[in-house]
Homo-oligomer: A and B are copies of this chain.
Amino acid sequence: MKGFAMLEIGKIGWIEKEKPTAGPYDAIVRPLALAPCTSDIHTVFEGGIGQRYNRILGHEAVGEVVEVGSEVKDFKPGDRVVVPAITPDWNTLEVQEGRHQHSGGMLAGYKFTNIKDGVFAEFFHVNDADMNLAHLPEGIPLEAAVMLTDMVTTGFHGTEMADVQFGDTVAVIGIGPVGLMAVASAQLKGAGRILAVGSRPVCVELAKEYGATDIVNYKNGDIVEQIMEMTDGKGVDVTIIAGGSVNVASAAVKITAPNGTISNINYFGEGEHIPIPRAEWGCGMAHKTITGGLCPGGRSRMERLIELVKYNRFDPGKMATHIFEGLDKVEEALLLMKDKPKDLIKPVVLVA
């Protein structure tokens, strides 16, 4: 079969591979919709997860089941499914300890491209199908559904880790697709004021639609100063980091009030240390909690997010600014993600 791969760091291309086969608990899926992710760009062009040779890219997919193993109970060929970016082995002690994302080791719940071939192919393999696939109900457009696999679960996790309360003031730093979903989820968790930090007009507009009440543009000056002024020196209850280099963490701590939470959903690809500003962290005494984590995956998570779309709680499909048709357009979509033209939020490739 054909797949679009990272040939090595810095090189991409189409390759031929054997169609994967399903073990007793697994499924083989063919894609119906695919989306490239910024982390694909990091992976292939910056070596974000290290060297990989001829590894098929991609971890955001909605598809159709074409084959299932003998022990799979809830899925059968022909079923349309949402495939989470995080597909852990569920039979591990990490799961018993409540950390499925780190099943098999830190971040090892992330398998596509990282540990095995990804989804940018005619077919791909899903381990533990009953635990990692979710049925896609009628009536949810493919471009909305494919957002659930990573962008939505990641953005929403930012809000969850911060345990947003009714009336909280929330800052979201970065309003690419993950940040936009952090904004949407902050509203859906009961935030009051939502300060979205970003500058690209296409994102700013959608941030407002998803619930941002104020836009903070770094081009208008230091964001810390702007936010402290906007909040009368109090800072915010919650800061969600959804983009930026390690220094953004420093700004995040500064704008967060004592007892507040800084919740990171950004992959920090470079830098030896993430700097926490000592004084503004109250010399270690301010009860400003800093956390961050890989998005939840698995079936139950996908089913919950599907419910939110099904009942019109929000519409992630609005982020699909560019829609392509045909598997071979994956390359173009990926490069678009790399180039980030002005009007791009997220490209989606529909596969007939």
Q: Which residues of A pack against B, CB within 8 Å? A: 25, 90-91, 93-102, 106-107, 128, 130-131, 156, 160, 165-169, 185, 187-190, 192-194, 213, 241, 246, 249-250, 258-259, 264-278, 281-294, 298-301, 303-308, 310-311, 313
Assembled-state Cα–Cα distance A101/B285 (Å):
9
Do the beta carbons of A271 and B264 come within 8 Å of each other?
A: no
List, in ascending order, chain B residues with CB within 8 A of A307's CB. 167, 169, 192-193
List, in ascending order, chain B residues with CB within 8 A of A306's CB. 167
Contact of A272 among B277, B287, B291, B298 (CB under 8 A): B277
Do the beta carbons of A192 and B313 come within 8 Å of each other?
A: yes
Do the beta carbons of A292 and B303 come within 8 Å of each other?
A: no
Inter-chain pairs besides A273-B278, A274-B277, 15 sampled, C-beta below 8 Å:
A91-B131, A97-B300, A98-B98, A99-B259, A106-B282, A107-B258, A166-B188, A188-B190, A192-B308, A192-B310, A194-B311, A246-B278, A264-B285, A274-B278, A286-B294
List, in ascending order, chain B residues with CB within 8 A of A213's CB. 311
List, in ascending order, chain B residues with CB within 8 A of A25's CB. 91
List, in ascending order, chain B residues with CB within 8 A of A311's CB. 192-194, 213
- Chain B nearest CB from A192 CB (Å) reads 3
List, in ascending order, chain B residues with CB within 8 A of A192's CB. 304, 307-308, 310-311, 313
Assembled-state Cα–Cα distance A304/B284 (Å):
25
Do the beta carbons of A190 and B275 come within 8 Å of each other?
A: no
Assembled-state Cα–Cα distance A334/B90 (Å):
37
Do the beta carbons of B193 and A298 come within 8 Å of each other?
A: no
Do the beta carbons of B292 and A285 come within 8 Å of each other?
A: yes
Provided the pairs A130-B91, A291-B290 are in contact, do residues A102 and B258 lie with their beta carbons within 8 angstroms? yes
List, in ascending order, chain B residues with CB within 8 A of A259's CB. 94, 97-99, 102
- Chain B nearest CB from A243 CB (Å) reads 11
Provided the pairs A259-B102, A286-B292 are in contact, do residues A96 and B275 lie with their beta carbons within 8 angstroms? no
Write the chain B residue with the least CB distance to A152: B166
6 closest pairs, A vs B, by CB? A167-B304, A192-B307, A96-B300, A287-B293, A273-B275, A99-B259
List, in ascending order, chain B residues with CB within 8 A of A313's CB. 187, 190, 192
Assembled-state Cα–Cα distance A168/B311 (Å):
12
Assembled-state Cα–Cα distance A190/B131 (Å):
23
List, in ascending order, chain B residues with CB within 8 A of A287's CB. 99, 101-102, 291-294
List, in ascending order, chain B residues with CB within 8 A of A130's CB. 91
